[in-house]
Each structure stands twice: as C-alpha cells, then as structure tokens.
C-alpha cells in the first residue's frame, strides 16, 4: 500500500485531514455509516492505521465531523428556502404544515445526513474522547439553534419552544430514516404478509406527518388549546 509522507506543517496537516473527511464522505455514498471501518477508511486514505490516528482519534471522530459539516450545509439550504419569509396572517397550523413539508423535502435530498443522524447516538457518539464529544455537542447545539431561529421566523407562535421542537425534529429524522430502511428479511416478511404492510414506513410521508404533529402540538400547548 502506498502511503503519503507525514504532514509536517499545520497547513499540510489540515489538507490531510480534509482528504480523510472527503474519503469518508465518498464511502458514505456506498455504504451506511455503521459499515465504515477504521481499517477500510485508513486504506482508502492511503495511510497506515497508526498514521491515520495522528489526524483523527477514531473513525467515529471522522464521522461526527462529517455530520457537523452536512448539518451546517442543510441549515444553509433551509435558510435559502425560507428567504422569502411567510405570510404571518395565515393560520399558525397552516404555516406549521408548510414548514413540515419544506423541511421534509429538503432533508430528503441529504441522505448522508439522514444516515449520520440515524447513527449518531448508537454508533457515532461511542469510542470518542470527552474533548471530541464535547466539541461535537456544542456544534450540534449551534445547528439546532440556527434551525430554530429559521423556523421561529415562520412560526413566531412557537416562542422559546422552537429550540426543543427542532431538537425533536432532528431526532425524528434519524429514527424515521432507520425504520424506512428495513433489512432484507423484514422486506420479505412485509411482502409475504400483507397485514404487516402498515409497518413498512416510507421516509418522506412518515417524517412530514411526525414533524407536522410536533409543531401543531407545540403551538396548541402554548396557546392553551
């Protein structure tokens, strides 16, 4: 296996780090996050495992950084989708349903982000140091806060519940993504028994319904309805 020369400057190290991140991003187009191994990531990065660990402490640390990057890109996209503002004279529940539809259509175009969010708690937050975990959680909080500000611009009725609601929306994205991608055995069971068909959840419609319900419930609770 050919290997790169060791990076000897801060600039060279950063170039190497970005190359590793780009390699991992490419792997995510071929396989789910949980299937990426440190050995294969090292191999594709043309680094010995010992060399790889000079840049990232684990494969989870790489994937958490990719998650943060993808999350920021999605938030920026949502901002462009919301740039025209909203007709605040429309009923809040109507605007809430529109927000749910926009967020769902947008996130459906980011399958890698959905996959990373689905693996976040069960896979990516393991095998990382307190430093890496803390840095990621601060970045995640900033991303939720940014999304909440965008949503609150269209739904001022949410007030200070916009943050918690957006946090729940992000959790819903990961959960629905997982359930919408059943194993081959589960697919066979669904096809063999029509009574089980209701448990085969399509991603976008299921997520949109959950997000709309989360928003509607939060608005109703704040209004005392």
* Domains annotated on the chain, with CATH: 1-56 (1.10.10), 59-223 (1.10.357.10)
Question: What digits encode the pLDDT tens for the residues 129-140?
Answer: 999 999 999 999
Question: What digits encode the pLDDT tens for the residues 85-134?
Answer: 778 899 999 999 999 999 999 999 999 999 999 999 999 999 999 999 99
Q: Which residues contact 91 (CB under 8 A, 6 or more apart)?
A: none
| Segment (H or E) for 210 | helix 203-223
- Of the candidates 158, 154, 149, 129, the one whose C-alpha atom is nearest the C-alpha of residue 219 is 158
Q: Does residue 3 carry a pLDDT above 70?
A: no
Q: Which residues contact 11 (CB under 8 A, 6 or more apart)?
A: none
Q: At what angle do helices 59-81 and 92-108 cross, to 10 degrees?
A: 130
Q: Please report the pLDDT score of residue 8 as a whole number.
A: 63
């Amino acid at each position: 296996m050919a290997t790169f020369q060791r990076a000897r400057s801060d600039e060279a190290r950063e170039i190497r780090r970005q190359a590793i991140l780009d390699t991992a991003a490419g792997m995510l187009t071929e396989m789910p996050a949980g299937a990426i191994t440190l050995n294969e990531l090292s191999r594709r990065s043309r680094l010995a495992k010992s060399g790889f660990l000079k840049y990232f402490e684990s494969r989870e640390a790489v994937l958490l950084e990719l998650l943060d990057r993808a999350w920021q890109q999605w938030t920026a996209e949502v901002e462009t989708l919301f740039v025209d503002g909203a007709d605040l004279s429309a009923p809040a529940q109507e605007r809430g349903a529109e927000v749910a539809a926009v967020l769902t259509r947008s996130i459906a175009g980011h399958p890698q982000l959905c996959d990373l969010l689905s693996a976040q708690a069960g896979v990516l937050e393991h095998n990382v140091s307190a430093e890496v975990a803390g840095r990621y959680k601060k970045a995640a909080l900033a991303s939720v806060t940014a999304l909440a500000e965008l949503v609150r611009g269209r739904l001022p009725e949410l007030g200070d519940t916009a943050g918690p609601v957006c946090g729940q929306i992000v959790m819903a994205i990961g959960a629905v993504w997982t359930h919408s991608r059943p194993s081959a055995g589960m697919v066979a069971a669904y096809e063999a028994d029509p009574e089980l068909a209701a448990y085969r959840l399509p991603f976008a419609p299921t997520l949109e319904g959950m997000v709309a319900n989360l928003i509607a419930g939060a608005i109703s609770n704040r209004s005392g309805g």
